[in-house]
Chains A and B, each alone.
Chain A
Amino acid sequence: EPEVTQTPSHQVTQMGQEVILRCVPISNHLYFYWYRQILGQKVEFLVSFYNNEISEKSEIFDDQFSVERPDGSNFTLKIRSTKLEDSAMYFCASSEAVGQGSEQYFGPGTRLTVT
């Protein structure tokens, strides 16, 4: 069964550094998402992406964040200048369609630790 993959599994960075988290969605999926989960807390939506542009974004997704689909397979999340509070698990997800009942498949996550 095809799966969403993410790299790296764990990223440690210093405050103020830029990080890029990478995701490879399921190949026939058209909609892509990033979520974050601070340790012990709920999953929070960051951004959705379709047809090479952002569809929706949350309040968390400020100017420090950006997303890109640089080629036909990768979907990236960039944090320009990391802060301590950016430490979290970041999940990528993709779905074949959108709307009611379109299941989102989550990747295994990247644990970001900002020191």
Chain B
Amino acid sequence: GENVEQHPSTLSVQEGDSAVIKCTYSDSASNYFPWYKQELGKRPQLIIDIRSNVGEKKDQRIAVTLNKTAKHFSLHITETQPEDSAVYFCAASISGGSYIPTFGRGTSLIVHP
């Protein structure tokens, strides 16, 4: 089955800095990669996703890149703000069937004001 590794487990940055979270996956058939943000005690919420036919996607301060050859994808947050503090999970899945994402272990992002 799919295995998703996520690094770092904790990331501490100053407000205004950039943050990068990296994930690798094992199954070359995976073709959909969502990122979820989970604030303390709240539900995971999708913040951005990327499909295997795209190398990069941006949404305001958030961007995701995908390298299919190397089987890794990354989340980039620019101009970080304290409200970006949360746990971020990457996931990988294979389209078709029930679409079951395999999650990474999460990165706790702390943005210091």
B86 to chain A, nearest CB (A): 14
- A48 contacts chain B at the CB level, 8 A cutoff: yes
- Distance between Cα atoms of A109 and B43 in the complex (Å): 7
Contact B32 A103 (CB under 8 A): no
Contact B44 A56 (CB under 8 A): no
Closest residue of chain A to B32 (Cβ to Cβ) is A100
From DSSP, what is the main secondary structure of chain B's interface residues? Answer: loop
Query: B residues within 8 A CB of A42?
Result: 89, 103-106
- B42 contacts chain A at the CB level, 8 A cutoff: yes
Chain B interface residue bracket vs A: 20 to 34
Which of B34, B42, B44, B98 lies at the interface centre, i.e. has the most chain A CB atoms within 10 A of its CB? B98
Report the interface size for chain A: residues with CB under 8 A from the other chain: 25
B24 to chain A, nearest CB (A): 14
Contact B96 A99 (CB under 8 A): yes
Taken residue by residue from 32 to 52, chain B's Cβ proximity to chain A (1 for < 8 Å, 0 otherwise) reads as 101010000011111001010
Contact A108 B98 (CB under 8 A): no
- B80 contacts chain A at the CB level, 8 A cutoff: no
Query: A residues within 8 A CB of B89?
Result: 42-43
A87 to chain B, nearest CB (A): 16
Contact A98 B44 (CB under 8 A): no
Within 8 A of A (CB), among B64-104: 89, 93, 95-104
- B31 contacts chain A at the CB level, 8 A cutoff: yes
Contact A99 B95 (CB under 8 A): yes
Closest residue of chain B to A106 (Cβ to Cβ) is B43
Query: A residues within 8 A CB of B49?
Result: 101, 103
A22 to chain B, nearest CB (A): 15
Which A residues contact B (CB, under 8 angstroms)?
31, 33, 41-45, 48, 50, 55-56, 58, 91, 95, 98-104, 106-109
CB-based closest 9 A-B pairs: A100-B95, A106-B43, A48-B98, A55-B98, A42-B105, A100-B32, A43-B103, A42-B103, A56-B98
